[in-house]
A = this chain, B = another copy of it.
Amino acid sequence: MLLSIIYVIGITAEAMTGALSAGRRNMDWFGVMLVASATAIGGGSVRDILLGHYPLTWVKHPEYLLITCIAGIVTTWLAKWVVKFHGVFIRLDALGLAAFSVIGCQVGLNMGLHYGICVVAAVITGVFGGLLRDLICRQAPLVLHNELYASVSLVVACLYLTLHYFSIDENITVITSLIVGYLMRMASVRFKWRLPIFQLKVEESVH
């Protein structure tokens, strides 16, 4: 229940950041709704397609798609406000990232998949929405360059699975994972934690 509420908050926040990206590319309303929805529920959709986990969440719950489309359009009116309250969105996005990762894990576990694949499912849920946004808006994928993002998903997933493995109460497992994920993401934004970058400056090309 708590997770559902945080999920809705998460997709709303993600949809609004997606709409801003669409706005930077001068897209029309349909583009705004598309990018908003892809950012918010694209990660879960990619996960479900890769795992063969049908029906997709938004097909079963069309109201989620409605929320992301409305959030996108509302953003076109409140853009200045959204940009101004930048910090709020960073926080909501961090919460959403943690929630997405937990949900990804749960989907994997419910399908009886290998723990390693559950971790992958969590990371895909957390990260691929942003990747799709950047792909459609033709900008360098932020999640592959900036502060820790996928790594937060990874840590949340490992924590969740560990607590799950030792049969800790589900509520405690979820809440602990959410808090740790939120704090880790906020810390990595504040202290600019990054993964090592791989820079290659060769003219030759292998392929």
Instruction: List residues of chain A with CB under 8 Å of any chain B CB.
Output: 16-17, 19-32, 34, 45, 49-52, 54-56, 59, 62, 65-66, 76, 79, 82-83, 86, 89-90, 93, 113-114, 116-117, 120, 127, 130-131, 135-136, 138, 140-145, 149-151, 194-200, 202, 204-207
Q: Among the listed B26, B135, B145, which residue makes an inter-chain contact with A145, where contact means beta carbons less than 8 Å apart?
A: B26
Most buried by B among A26, A59, A116: A59
The answer to whether A28 touches B204, judged by C-beta atoms less than 8 angstroms apart, is no
Add 17 more A-B contacts to A20-B207, A22-B198, A49-B50 (CB < 8 A): A17-B206, A20-B200, A20-B202, A21-B207, A23-B198, A24-B200, A26-B197, A26-B198, A26-B199, A30-B149, A30-B151, A50-B56, A62-B116, A65-B116, A79-B198, A131-B136, A142-B207
Oligomeric state, in number of copies? 3
Q: Which residue of B lies closest to A93 (CB)?
A: B207
Instruction: Give the CA-CA distance A19 to B34 in the complex, in Å.
Output: 25
Give 20 pairs: A residue, B residue, CB < 8 Å, sorted on A.
Answer: A16-B206, A20-B202, A21-B207, A23-B199, A24-B202, A26-B197, A28-B195, A28-B197, A30-B149, A31-B144, A50-B59, A52-B55, A52-B56, A59-B117, A62-B116, A79-B198, A83-B204, A86-B204, A131-B136, A142-B207
Measured CB to CB, the closest approach of chain B to A125, in angstroms, equals 14
